[in-house]
Amino acid sequence: MRVARWAGLGLVLTIACASAFAPLITGRDPNASGDDLLTGPSAEHWFGTDDLGRDVLTRTLHGGRISLTLGLGAAALGCAIGVPVGIAAGFARGWASTLLTQLIDLFIALPALVLALVVTVVVGPTLGNLMLVLGLVQWPGMARLVRGQSLVLREMAFVEAAWATGNTPAAVVRRHIWPNLARIVAAQFAISVSAAIFTSASLSFLGLGLPPPTPDWGGMVQGGFEYLSLNPLLCFGPGAAVTLTIFAFYVLGRTVD
């Protein structure tokens, strides 16, 4: 598990660095067109060029910025909503607990991709809107996980002792609940990032991602289908980037202990 954790972390950092330093790595504008259309891999264009003569490797590296921003932002929003709701649902009693639990179950019952599709069509595919949509898709899973752990923790002797000594709810959560939830939330956060990246790529593949000419992995895969016989890397380059990034965050999340 330790080896897998470091491998996942190393892959995440590699992808993040490659995306952050994309201008230095290739020295090209991702939206700059050229005269060489649909060329295959070469010394000048490692992944070839697309139908507008743009360098595919450059666009793939810059696409990582979009995907990582969306994934991390959506996971953070999911945590910001899901963790408080989950703790409240776990510690509340009576009708309040029932209401919060039913709310979580309601959102979990909705198909994530379908919900994202509907909301994206309504609000429009901007970066901020997509992050909001993906965050709303992510929070129920986080809330259910945190609620389950909170139900266990509230029965622990040290929590009952904290209540008995007159601690306020905020103090109990801060001193006794959160330290026991932090690792679980961190693991779910990493998994949520991978899920958000997959959902954003799916939306882009369906034509509901960021509009052209923004380099976006899902949109690049969709746009490259027509030219697979000329340059397979139009699809396989960004497709591999999506796969590796999702895999890296998933492995990292599964190995947090």
**pLDDT one-digit tens code per residue, 217-255:** 999 999 888 888 888 889 999 999 999 999 999 988 887
Q: Are the C-beta atoms of 104 and 144 separated by less than 8 Å? A: yes
155-158, Cβ contacts within 8 angstroms, sequence gap of 24 or more? none
Q: What is the mean pLDDT of the chain?
A: 88
CATH architecture of 2-18+61-254: Orthogonal Bundle (1.10)
Rounded Cα gap, residues 206 and 46, in angstroms: 27
Residue 53, SS3 per DSSP: coil
- Tell me which H or E stretch contains 222: helix 217-224
Rounded Cα gap, residues 221 and 237, in angstroms: 8
Q: Identify which has the larger pLDDT, 20 or 122.
A: 20
Question: What pTM was computed for the model?
Answer: 0.90
The reported pLDDT for the residue numbered 257 is 60
Summarize pLDDT for 134-156 with one digit per residue, the tens.
Answer: 998 899 999 999 999 988 888 88
Summarize pLDDT for 28-42 with one digit per residue, the tens.
Answer: 899 888 888 888 888
Rounded Cα gap, residues 96 and 106, in angstroms: 15
Q: Are the C-beta atoms of 128 and 70 separated by less than 8 Å? A: no
Residue 111 has pLDDT above 90, yes or no: no
Summarize pLDDT for 162-178 with one digit per residue, the tens.
Answer: 888 888 878 888 888 88
Residue 38, SS3 per DSSP: coil
